[in-house]
Amino acid sequence: MKFSANLGFLWTDLSLPDAIRAAQVAGFDAVECHWPYDTPATQVRAALEETGLPMLGLNTIRGATGENGLSALPGRAAEARSAVDQALDYATAIGAGAMHVMAGFAQGSDAHTAFVNTLTYACAAAKPLGVTILIEPLNTYDAPGYFLQTTSQALAVMTDVDAPNLRLMFDCYHVQLMEGDLTNRLTRLMPHIGHIQFAGVPARGSPDVGEVHYPHIFEHLEQLGYTHPLGAEYKPSGPTEDSLGWLNRL
């Protein structure tokens, strides 16, 4: 298997360019990030070129303090589209292949319509750039009130958008907390998946601690023919290097 370091959680004590370099030294095959916008894209691209690591993806901005995305918020279409444009500009500047469009805190049919409209715009804008648009269900323990909560809801949104470059970000941590049955869900949803992430459950620590036996998950993904790097999006309890025993063993 190949693995990607999510630099939103790993090596947060370093600048983003230095975190990219640390991920390469640790043996990761790729990197991904959350909100890189305070770092000049030229610096990030230089670090990626230096290390040879691809940047798999980034997120649209959260919005104002206390928000967690804008795309499903009724009445905020102009801001949501601006966030999409900002993320696409940054993604293309650093060569990132995917962009996670964050839904935000909302509920109801109006939020569904707003999310579908924003995603339709994002997919159309991203298509000529070769960028994949991702949506990710988040669990209600960490993100209560977030619009997108389950994989079935994500599939309903994807059906309404009906764009080939819209894919599901399957985070094993979130899906286990909300739905469980990871092995069968991965099998069933594989045609819709654009990226997979993982962390220990329920504490979101390293993947060798908790209720999910990730060696089985990784072996199952290999059997399914999944070859893209898997995103390590977990919160180390101390220095990142001290949490990488799982990676060294693999």
In order of their start, the domains of the chain are 3-249 (3.20.20.150)
Residue entry with tokens 């080939």? 164
pLDDT value for 166: 98
Q: What is the pLDDT of residues 124-148, one digit of tens each?
A: 999 999 999 999 999 999 999 999 9
Tell the residue number behind the tokens 């390293």, with chain if given. Answer: 206
* Predicted confidence (pLDDT) at residue 238 exceeds the cutoff of 90: yes
Query: Is pLDDT above 90 for 248?
Result: no
Region 43-47: what's the mean pLDDT?
A: 98
What whole-number distance in Å separates Cα of residue 103 and Cα of residue 138? 10
Whole-number average pLDDT of the chain: 98
Instruction: Tell me how far apart the alpha carbons of residues 169 and 2 are, in angstroms, rounded to a whole number.
Output: 17
Q: Which residues of 169-203 are buried (b: 16+ CB within 10 A; e: fewer)?
A: bbbbbbbbbbeeebeebbeebeeebbbbbbbbbee
**Residue linked to tokens 């991904």:** 32
Average pLDDT for residues 95-123, to the nearest whole number?
98
What residue type is 217 in one-letter code? I
Q: What does the radius of gyration of the chain's CA atoms come to, in whole angstroms?
A: 17
User: How many angstroms separate the CA atoms of 126 and 221, rounded?
Assistant: 28
**pTM reported for the whole predicted model:** 0.97
Catalytic residues: 136, 233
- Cα gap 171→138, rounded to integer Å: 8
